[in-house]
Amino acid sequence: MKELEEKILKEGHALSENILKVDSFINHQVDPVLMQQIGDAFAGHFGNKGITKVVTIESSGIAPALMTAISLNVPMIILKKQPSKVLNDNLLQTVVTSFTKGTSYELTLSHQFIEENDNVLIIDDFLANGEAASGAIRLLSEAGASIAGVGILIEKSFQPGRDKLIAQGVDVYSLARVSRLAKGVIEFIPEEC
């Protein structure tokens, strides 16, 4: 997606060969116009898959997932990373290791929001090692839902996440595929025609 790539080049900061900071438009401050374009792009790609719910992991995926859910006219579900005093009944949980933070957390889904006939689209901000998306897939599969695909804003194509998800039979659609990061350097895989 050309608009996202241009925004990354203009406002993103490559801090190292693994870390791309995009907090000015995705995960601290949010660009709502860009998020609407992102939601429309995901809806355009996955729109014929019979999606019944859009799922994301708190918190950076919320804005693009919400815009995707609006474009598809379906509910959005947020998988929780933090324990909740009120979310404590009929829960599904799995442990996920965060590449960025280098820590593990319990990803939680309340079973009441997913049904066996749901066909779910997962939206996430980054794809690196595929751990977060794999954790979401585990929870949704345990609930009996089917996975329509995974939509990613920014894929670090030099890391194994895409291959891990494809090996699970998942349709992966990334809007910006980064081929190389280095301090001050951001390069993309050219978009397919």
Q: Is 85 annotated as a binding residue?
A: no
Give the chain's end-to-end CA distance (angstroms, integer). Answer: 11
**Is pLDDT larger for residue 169 or for residue 81?**
169
Binned at pLDDT 50, 70 and 90, residue 87 comes out as: low
Q: Is 27 annotated as a binding residue?
A: yes
Report, as an integer, the average pLDDT of 86-101: 72
Read off φ and ψ for residue 22, nearest 5 degrees. -130, 35
Read off φ and ψ for residue 78, nearest 5 degrees. -110, 120
CB 150 within 8 A of CB 171: yes
Q: Where are the domains of the chain?
A: 32-176
Q: Is 130 left (phi over 0), alpha (psi -120 to 50) or beta?
A: left
Inform me whether the pLDDT recorded for 132 exceeds 80. yes
Q: Is 130 annotated as a binding residue?
A: yes
For tokens 């670090």, what's the residue?
156
Per-residue pLDDT tens for 15-65? 999 999 999 999 899 999 999 999 999 999 999 999 999 999 988 999 999
Q: Is 5 annotated as a binding residue?
A: no
Report, as an integer, the average pLDDT of 70-75: 98
Q: Alpha-carbon distance 182 to 193, whole Å?
A: 27
Q: Is 101 annotated as a binding residue?
A: no
The pLDDT, as a whole number, for residue 125 is: 95
Q: Is 12 annotated as a binding residue?
A: no
Q: Is 176 annotated as a binding residue?
A: no
Inform me whether the pLDDT recorded for 193 exceeds 60. no
CB 157 within 8 A of CB 179: yes
Q: How many C-beta atoms surround the C-beta of residue 86 within 10 A? A: 5
Binned at pLDDT 50, 70 and 90, residue 106 comes out as: confident
Q: Is 151 annotated as a binding residue?
A: no
Q: Does domain 32-176 have CATH number 3.40.50.2020?
A: yes
Q: Alpha-carbon distance 130 to 97, whole Å?
A: 10
CB 7 within 8 A of CB 34: yes
> DSSP states of 46-109 as a string?
HTTS---EEEEETTTTHHHHHHHHHHHT--EEEEBSS--SS--SSEEEEEEE-TTT--EEEEEE
